[in-house]
């Protein structure tokens, strides 16, 4: 995996579509793996090496966890103690589609940043992307992230990947 990093607020944000590299069966094997096997399965798909390279090769300890979200579920805005965290979208079933349902959002977390207006600059602008199977997104742990509420009839399965420095 060759990671594509965007720079927002002078911060690296990983946005990668791996749907052409990971088949639905590959994504299902990650979803169905036992928690104690997830790091090894993710490593077998080169996900961890790609994330480490995208964020400077300083990550040496990993944890992975599958999150299953259903109608009305969401992840509140928050930060992570890990050096880098990422989500790989494993599966999405849409019921009543809504363009903002189940989006993964990264926001500039600096206090007072919403009071700054500089035309054409990235400050105070959130990055919101649709959660589609095979999409990998990641950021440093200090960047605020959230998952917007899922609409009626929707489900979303994510592989949460967290990495720490040595």
pLDDT at 78 over 90: no
Q: Answer yes or no: pTM beyond 0.75.
A: yes
Number of domains into which the chain is organized: 1
User: Which residue range forms the structural domain that includes residue 50?
Assistant: 5-165
The string of DSSP letters for the chain reads ----EEEETTEEEEEEE-TTTS-HHHHHHHHHS-GGGHHHHHHHTTHHHHHHHHTTS-EEEEEEEEEEEETT--EEEE--SSSEEEEEEEEEE-SS--TTTT-EEEE---TTGGG---TT--TT--EEE---TTEEEEEETTSEEEEPPPPTT-EEEEEEEEEEE-
- Average pLDDT of the residues in 65-77: 91
pLDDT at 138 over 70: yes
- Average pLDDT of the residues in 129-158: 91
CATH of the domain at 11: 2.60.120.620
């Amino acid at each position: 995996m060759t990671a594509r990093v965007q720079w927002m607020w002078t911060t690296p944000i990983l946005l990668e579509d791996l749907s052409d590299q990971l088949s639905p069966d590959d994504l299902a094997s990650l979803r169905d793996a036992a928690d104690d096997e997830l790091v090894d399965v993710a490593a077998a798909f080169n996900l961890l090496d790609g994330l480490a390279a995208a964020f400077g090769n300083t990550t040496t300890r990993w944890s992975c966890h599958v999150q299953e979200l259903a109608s009305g579920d969401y992840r509140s805005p928050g930060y992570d103690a890990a050096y880098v965290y990422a989500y790989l979208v494993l599966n999405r079933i849409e019921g009543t589609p809504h363009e903002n349902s189940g989006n993964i959002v990264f926001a500039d977390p600096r206090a007072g940043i919403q009071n700054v207006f500089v035309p054409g600059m990235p400050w105070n602008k959130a990055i919101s992307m649709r959660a589609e199977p095979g999409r990998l997104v990641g950021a440093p742990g200090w960047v605020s992230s959230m998952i917007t509420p899922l609409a009626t009839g929707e489900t979303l399965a994510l592989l949460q990947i967290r990495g720490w420095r040595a």
